[in-house]
Amino acid sequence: MAVHEAVLGRFFEDFVVGDVYQHAIGRTISEADSTWFTQLTCNTNQNHFNAHFAESNPVSGGRIIVNSGLTVAIILGMTVLDMSQNAVANLGWNDIKLTHPVYIGDTLYAESVCTDMRESASRPEMGIITMFSRGLNQHGDVITSWTRSVMIPKRSSGIAQNYFPAAKSGPLTAP
């Protein structure tokens, strides 16, 4: 019998500069997603929730445009499992671009490439990973991109490991 421990994500030494990660989960954006996020963030631009108003927008083709904050948040979230699941800190985002509108009903995908890695000068149990990430829609159009740096622990740090509790009743076995 094998026990597969609760381990997610990568540690500093798992990354290789130039490796590309096509993040596994896509996400279709619903009208509820867009409206909820827009209202939650107090964004009053009616292009995000008023179909009649959006009809007059020459950029949107008369359709509701998904709030770009939601687009960025979803693409970021898609990258976490592969790129920053074990990160202890986001260190910076640079050069965020919104290159194609996102509409209700679009399905988003994300991919990232590790562009740089170095050991932390101030925290020897950590490293710094820099990545370039981009979001695509279902047609393959690049909708957003950015460069992000995160602090990732080394496996030897013990961070993000051995956190699953031991059952007081003992190990799990088949009934």
CA distance 63 to 14: 43
pLDDT in tens, 6-41: 778 999 999 999 999 999 999 999 999 999 999 999
pLDDT in tens, 74-96: 999 999 999 999 999 999 999 99
For 155, the 3-state DSSP assignment is helix
Q: Determine phi and psi for 158, rounding to 5 degrees.
A: 85, -5
Cβ atoms 117, 154 nearer than 8 A: no
pLDDT in tens, 42-67: 999 999 989 999 999 998 888 999 99
pLDDT at 4 over 90: no
CA distance 131 to 79: 10
The model's pTM: 0.90
pLDDT in tens, 112-142: 999 999 999 999 999 999 999 999 999 999 9
Strand partners, 89: 151
pLDDT at 31: 92
pLDDT at 1 over 70: no
pLDDT at 60: 84
Domain residue spans in the chain?
12-156
In sequence order, what are the residues at sequence separation of 6 or more whose Cβ sits closer than 8 angstroms to the Cβ of residue 33? Answer: 66, 70
User: Residue 89: how many CB atoms within 10 A of its CB?
Assistant: 13
pLDDT in tens, 146-164: 999 999 999 999 888 888 8
In sequence order, what are the residues at sequence separation of 6 or more whose Cβ sits closer than 8 angstroms to the Cβ of residue 168? Answer: none
**Token code pair at residue 33:** 């997603």
Per CATH, which fold does 12-156 belong to? Thiol Ester Dehydrase; Chain A (3.10.129)
pLDDT at 137: 98
